Chains A and B, each alone.
Chain A
Amino acid sequence: MVMVSSVSVRFSRVLRSCASVIVVLLLVIGGGGMVAAGGAGETEEERSEQSTGELIIYTYDAFPEGLEEVITQHFAQEYSVSVTVERFQDTGGLFNEVMLTRGEGTADLVIGLDNTYIGRALEEDLFQPTEPAEIGAVREDLILDETNRLVPFDYGNIVLNYDSQALPDPPTTWEGLLDPALRESIILMNPATSSPGRNFLLLTIAQFGEEGYLDFWQELEPNILTITSGWSDGYGLYSQGEAPIVLSYETSPAYHIAFEDTDRYKNLILGGVGYAQIEVMGVLQDAPNAENAHRAVDFILSPEFQREIALNQFMYPVREDVELPDSFQQLERPGETLFLDITTVDENYETWLDEWEAVMR
């Protein structure tokens, strides 16, 4: 009996110390919560009084720090406004956050939605109209909404890339891509889960029509090594030498020219066409600092900002009067950019995707 009680004494001591650890932790967490909650309350009051003091931007994780700094510095110098950038995992995560927090006034400006989400964002009426001062300088065919609720800030054509060391003699036509010699040589992305994948499916629909695209895919199937979920997985496999052809952006080879001093990776532009991937920004309906958000839209379209896009983001600026770096000038570009009407796409995409999956599974 004595022994048993000494065991329990010993362990009640351990228990007690563990309990106090937990209590302290709970206090810390609870206290931190109250402090944070109190802080949030204060800032909300502040916001209504001096609505120009800050700017909250939502974007995706990969939004370049270089571009963030340009915005932050501009707002600090010009308006003494402090900019907060909140990042979410990817474009899907970003859109999800915007949907989940709608009406809460947690952010002002969303940067980085693309084709995949534009239709849904407009339909949900998440963004307010803007009147950007320099919208006239933007490539006209990139403008998607006449009231400028969503404003394009960069774009790039979705094309195939190839490794000229592994494939010295690449195909030049769509038919050439079906050559049996290219068995298991192409890495693509899933149109159900990735923006480039989706745009490539749309490119084949734009190219072959609703009647012809499935036949093309059926013939292409043996030449596909794998279809990855996301672009970075697929591009990673390609840069590891797993296959000589990959679905990517027309600007990807510029990265290897600029940072790796190699031009072995090139664009493979079939039939002279690519499909536009457009990245847009928009001022949220319930933006607490709407004025600053509108200023930011203006600034992002200015030459000062647009100039920074190429080497930071590896996309093209939406203004054509901005000079491009050398690495971009060496690129072969598609003669024609295809882009299907957003509403048509949104209405039909599910059907197209189902048909496509039925063929490819």
Chain B
Amino acid sequence: MTTVDDRRRYALFGGLAAFFVLFFLAPVGTVFFRAAGETEAGAAWATVVDILTASRTRSVVTFTVGQASLSAALAVILALPGAYLVSHFTFPGRRIIYSLSLLPFVLPSIIVVVAMIGFYGKSGIINRLLGTDYNLVYNFRGIVLAHVFYNFSLAIRVISTAWTGISRRYRESAESLGDSSRGVFFRVTLPLLLPAILTSFILVFIYCFLSFGVVLVFGGIKYATFEVAIYREMFINLDLPAAAVFALLQILFSGIFIVVSSRFIHRSRAEALDTGTVLPSMRTLPLLPRTVMTGYLIVMVLFVLGPITTMVVRAFTTSAGTLGLENFRQLLVPGAADRNVESILRSSVVGVIGRSLLVAAASGTVTFAAATAAALSLRGRRSAAVDNALQIPIGMSLVTVGLGLRLLWQDALPPVVLIVLGQFFVAFPLVFRIIRSGVEELSDRVVNSAAILGASRGQILRDIEMPLLRRTFLNAYAYALALPFADLTIVMAVGRGRLATFPVAIYRLIGFRSFDLALAMAVLYVAFCLVLFWIIDTTSLPRGSLRSERS
């Protein structure tokens, strides 16, 4: 028998499904349909087979999977000690490491490239300090380095969150039963930590698998990911059938990863709730481990902050080579530069800021609302098929989504709406995943145990559900805002040049050879992101967890 509540759930979920069909499946289907139409009659399969068996396709597959595995493995290995430190001790800079995990989602890849070059490039800081000109980045190494840089703090975030929960709940009880600490690690901690390690590996793997900008610059002619191959076929070789085959392959591969990862992600997120204990300071450690750990921290902070700092310093360097505000003045004060910045950007800088915030707010809110609705309508139901289906957009190439939206909807909807729709599918999988696991976590464990302990319904709501969900919601909202804020592909694909957001402005300045101004723009952008995420992180952290270092 279906209840009213059930019917509501079905209606809600049906609405969401219709939305997916109309604005995701139908547009993408249009692209594939069109691609099939461009092959000679009856030759569609032959074309597919030709492309699949081409040696270039094979090298795309090997490279994409190879670099993604290596990058993910390195990121996770480097993150493990960091995750241990973050989850067990307080130390200066702990907050920064935690907040930095949002970095990969907000930095447009062109900025990452600029930052990497300033630090690791042939005329970068490292080579200058060593007095050498080693070629560190223009090859396979460069791609992996950039990917590890991008993703390693995300791995720290995922693993440390799990580790925090484990240490408290199980380690203490195991130790009280007389187990040695090494034994505890191998018999208790590691098995419990494994899902989180695998989760972070798969997350990083998927992001590297889908990498575009970094590979475009550092890949030279030798290396291309699927995303790069799709772009090349679609916009340069004008071979839509080939682009479609690559897009299909990419979605197929990511589909497999998503199914595999879904087996771990629920379990690892189950440990994600932090009720907050005061952690010991790292100073309580004996000298040797303390020195090793401090060394590790310094190297890691240099690894992440070095490139960004270099970028910031360059943005503040004047044409005379001294430090100053020249670039920012030219950017912000009309008439301060010979070149007309407003006409290069086709907007004022204030306009860029305002528009970026508005677009991110619109896309972020729509995504957040839909993801919340979906998570609540699925509450208490485990359906791997539905969960996995909702993750599919993550593997769909953005240029394909953009093209599909244009083909199907551009006569009916204005560019701004198309941008919001496109960005919706960029952010939805991750945002939904965060909210879903938060919501599930509540119903299963905490609420029941609180109820068993005799808490009233009102108490549970006020003291447990809302504070805990509030954190999930804010966290999810941060990602919902960050992804569209950093998006260049969708804005460019469907915006018809009308909307200059931050990444577009940076792209335009670089295209006009104004590299110094592009750097200044990038610094403004990063500053905005940091303020935004600092606000969100401060409001979303539960009392006493990361703030404990203050006391």
User: A residues within 8 Å of B by Cβ?
Assistant: 2-3, 6-8, 10-12, 14-16, 18-19, 21-23, 25-26, 29, 32-34, 36-37, 40, 61-62, 64-66, 85-90, 92-93, 95-97, 99-100, 120, 184, 190, 192-193, 225-230, 232-233, 235-237, 239-243, 252, 255-256, 258-262, 357, 360-361
List the B residue with the shortest CB-CB distance to A25. Answer: B366
In the complex, B370 has a CB within 8 A of chain A? yes
Instruction: Say whether, besides A3-B451, A8-B5, A225 and B138 are in contact (CB < 8 Å).
Output: yes
Once the chains bind, are A15 and B377 in contact (CB under 8 Å)? Answer: yes
Residue numbers in B under 8 Å from A36 (CB-CB):
411-414
22 cross-chain CB contacts under 8 A: A8-B5, A14-B376, A18-B369, A19-B8, A19-B12, A29-B417, A32-B414, A65-B346, A66-B340, A86-B497, A92-B236, A100-B403, A184-B122, A184-B133, A192-B221, A227-B220, A227-B221, A232-B510, A236-B510, A259-B337, A260-B319, A262-B319
Given the interface contacts A229-B219, A240-B123, A360-B221, does A19 sit within 8 Å of B413 by beta carbon? no
B118, B343, B498: which contacts A240 (Cβ < 8 A)?
B118
Closest B residue to A99 by beta carbon equals B238
A6 x B138 contact (CB < 8 A): no
Residues of A within 8 A of B278 (CB): none
Smallest CB separation, A73 vs chain B (Å):
14
Q: Please name the residue on chain B nearest to A69 by beta carbon.
A: B343
Assembly CA distance A15 to B407 (angstroms): 33
How many whole Å from A208's CB to the nearest CB in chain B? Answer: 20
- Whether B393 sits at the interface, judged by CB under 8 Å, is no
* Complex contacts, A229 vs chain B, CB 8 Å: 216-217, 219, 228
With known contacts A7-B457, A21-B369, A227-B221, A40–B411 Cβ distance under 8 A? yes
Q: Mark B114-157, 1 if CB is under 8 A from A, else 0.
A: 10011001110000000001010010000000000000000000
Across-interface contacts of B238 in A (CB, < 8 A): 92, 95-96, 99, 120
Using known A-B contacts A37-B412, A86-B496, determine if residue A19 contacts B373 with beta carbons closer than 8 Å. yes
Total number of B residues with any Cβ neighbor in A under 8 Å: 79
CB within 8 A of B511: which of A232, A262, A357? A232
- Would you call B283 an interface residue if the criterion is a C-beta within 8 Å of the partner chain's C-beta atoms? no
5 additional A-B residue pairs with CB within 8 Å, beyond A19-B11, A228-B216: A25-B369, A92-B236, A96-B238, A259-B514, A361-B222
Given A12-B5, A15-B9, A62 and B512 contact (CB-CB distance below 8 Å): yes
Q: Judge whether B372 is part of the interface by a CB distance below 8 angstroms.
A: yes
B445: min CB distance to chain A, Å: 14
Contact between B135 and A64 (Cβ–Cβ < 8 Å)?
Answer: no
In the complex with contacts A21-B369, A192-B232, A33-B343 CB distance below 8 A = no
B33 within 8 Å of A (CB atoms):
no
Q: Chain A residues near B40 (CB, 8 Å)? A: none
Smallest CB separation, B369 vs chain A (Å): 5
Q: Which residues of B contact A233 (CB under 8 A)?
A: 113, 216-217
Which chain A residues lie closer than 8 Å to B338 at the CB level? Answer: 258-259
The distance from the CB of B545 to the nearest CB of chain A, in whole angstroms, is 26
Q: Does B357 contact A (CB under 8 A)?
A: no
**C-alpha gap A235/B228 in the complex (Å):** 20
A184 cross-chain contacts in B, Cβ below 8 A: 122, 133, 135
Chain B residue nearest to A18 in the complex (CB):
B373
Given the known A-B contacts A19-B12, A37-B411, A100-B407, are A242 and B221 also in contact in the complex, defined by CB atoms under 8 Å? no
Q: Are A235's CB and B414's CB within 8 A?
A: no
Considering the complex, give the chain B residue whose CB is closest to the CB of A231: B511
Task: Flag if A61 contacts B492 (CB, 8 Å).
Answer: yes
A165-B370 Cα distance, complex, nearest whole Å: 56
Chain A residue at smallest Cβ distance from B458: A6
A15 to B344, CA, bound (A): 46
- A15-B8, A90-B235, A95-B238 given; A32·B417 CB < 8 A: yes
0 or 1 for each of B350-393: is its CB under 8 Å from A? (1 = yes): 00000000000000001001101100110100000000000000
Known contacts A22-B369, A25-B369, A96-B238; A225 and B216 CB within 8 A of each other: no
